[in-house]
């Protein structure tokens, strides 16, 4: 304990951590009337971090190819130590994240927190919600099971209903007229790099603006 | 309410509570960290590779004369050769620097793609930067099937 304290002090002396911790954690003032429902956004962010971490672990064995994807997921679940757990946390975590994001969304809508000066919090939040759902949708295809295949088929059929340009959008999303290895590659790149990177940018915007305006006080 | 409840507790008593709380928080933090660290550390360990020590069994009927058959045995490439002189099994690893030698049916020689070592159909050196012949792998023939175990 003494030793840990001395190591902390060494860093504290150089980086001045104590004022940072006091300002943001131990001495942070939040409105007394704020309830537990104010935690949904933070919890959604926590599940995002869990998803990023478990996703990095799964990436060690996952192979984004039609002939290898299913086998690699089966390999993770049955041959990698604790692989079943990491894979399951990633799946359940996706559902949990969506539930938390929607609860956060419902609370903000119900208390009308989106009003001036917080319009941009709302807009960046809606973008983040869309990214979350697309990340869940693209991740659903990756194990390349019957469920994933038909889920992706039905999901990509939806923009096809748009008049005139629908078929073009559908084929663009599928990278061709049908669900194929190209769809898998596209969804994979969206799922592990493009969408998380965009999400992080919008999260920075979302969080920095909350620091700027402060947490909304319920009436 | 008696008066004593409003008095601050003696210093040593409050210190005791503080230490107790600190120990509880510290203990729970360590326990939480361990529940995360254990599965992650396990995940980073070696996966179970099914069939790594499985014997290789190749029916003689599937071996064309003068052709090589490559197989994986204990994580290493082996090459099974069948011609008019019988069957031979070698480790495909070149004794020079460990590249896998390729069988060329046209000149009936093994060629190493890395530094050009050449071996004949008995695994003996023909030319190249190498002095040792290809390592022989023991095998047996049972009911017309080559078994390497």
Residues A1-43: tens digit of each pLDDT? 689 899 999 999 999 999 988 988 888 887 777 888 889 999 9
Average pLDDT over residues A81-91: 96
C-alpha distance from B9 to closest chain A C-alpha (Å): 24
In a domain, A132, yes or no: yes
In a domain, A19, yes or no: no
B40 contacts A79? CB cut-off 8 A: no
Least confident segment among A73-87, A178-192, B109-123: B109-123
Task: State pLDDT tens for residues A107-131.
Answer: 999 988 888 888 899 999 999 999 9
B50 contacts A79? CB cut-off 8 A: yes
Task: Give residue limits of the domains in chain B.
Answer: 10-46, 56-148
DSSP state string for B49-89 = -TTTTPPEEEEGGGPPTTEEEEEEETTEEEEEEEETTEEEE
On whether the CB atoms of residues A75 and A61 are closer than 8 A, the answer is yes
In a domain, A128, yes or no: yes
C-alpha distance from A144 to closest chain B C-alpha (Å): 22
Q: Where residue A149 sits, what CATH number does that domain have? A: 1.20.810.10
A75: domain range? 38-211
Distant-in-sequence, close-in-space partners of B131: CB < 8 Å, separation ≥ 6: B95, B125
C-alpha distance from A86 to closest chain B C-alpha (Å): 8
In which band, very low, low, confident or very high, does the pLDDT at B3 lie, cut at 50, 70 and 90? very low
In a domain, A25, yes or no: no
Residues from chain A that touch B38, judged by Cβ atoms under 8 A, are: 82
- Output the pLDDT for position B1: 44
In a domain, A74, yes or no: yes
Four-way CATH pick for B56-148: 3.30.360.10, 2.40.50.140, 2.102.10.10, 3.50.50.60: 2.102.10.10
- Output the pLDDT for position B59: 86
Question: For residue A80, is pLDDT > 70?
Answer: yes
In a domain, A9, yes or no: no
Q: How far apart are CA A178 and CA A156, in angstroms?
A: 10
Q: How far apart are CA A81 and CA A85, in angstroms?
A: 9
- Output the pLDDT for position B50: 66
ipTM surpassing 0.90:
no
- Output the pLDDT for position B52: 64
């Amino acid at each position: 304990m003494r030793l840990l304290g001395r190591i902390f002090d060494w860093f504290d002396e150089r980086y001045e951590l104590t004022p940072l911790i006091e300002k943001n954690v131990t001495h942070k003032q939040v409105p007394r009337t704020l309830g537990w429902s104010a935690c949904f956004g933070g919890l959604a962010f926590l599940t995002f971090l869990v998803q990023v971490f478990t996703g990095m672990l799964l990436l060690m064995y996952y192979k984004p190819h039609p002939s290898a994807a299913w086998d690699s997921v089966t390999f993770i679940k049955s041959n990698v130590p604790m692989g079943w757990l990491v894979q399951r946390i990633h799946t359940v975590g996706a559902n949990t994240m969506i539930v938390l994001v929607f609860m956060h969304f419902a609370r903000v809508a119900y208390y009308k927190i989106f009003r001036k000066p917080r319009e941009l919090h709302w807009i960046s939040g809606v973008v983040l919600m869309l990214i979350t759902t697309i990340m869940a949708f693209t991740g659903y295809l990756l194990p390349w099971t019957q469920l994933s295949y038909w889920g992706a088929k039905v999901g990509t059929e939806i923009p096809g209903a748009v008049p005139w340009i629908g078929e073009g959008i559908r084929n663009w999303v599928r990278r061709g007229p049908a669900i194929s290895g190209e769809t898998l590659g596209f969804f994979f790149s969206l799922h592990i790099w493009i969408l998380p990177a965009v999400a992080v940018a919008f999260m920075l915007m979302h969080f920095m603006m909350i620091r700027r305006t402060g947490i909304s006080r319920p009436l | 309410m008696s008066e004593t409840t409003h008095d601050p507790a003696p210093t040593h008593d409050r210190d005791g509570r503080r230490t107790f709380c600190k120990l509880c928080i510290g203990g729970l933090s360590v326990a939480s960290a361990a529940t995360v660290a254990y599965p992650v550390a396990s995940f980073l360990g070696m996966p179970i590779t099914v069939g790594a020590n499985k014997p290789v069994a190749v029916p003689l009927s599937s071996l064309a004369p003068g052709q090589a058959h490559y197989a994986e045995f204990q994580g290493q490439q082996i090459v099974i050769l069948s011609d008019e002189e019988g069957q031979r099994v070698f480790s495909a690893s070149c004794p020079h620097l460990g590249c896998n030698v390729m069988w060329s049916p046209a000149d009936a020689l093994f060629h190493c793609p890395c530094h050009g070592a050449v071996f004949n159909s008995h695994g003996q050196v023909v030319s190249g930067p190498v002095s040792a012949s290809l390592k022989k792998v023991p095998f047996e023939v049972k009911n017309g099937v080559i078994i390497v175990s």
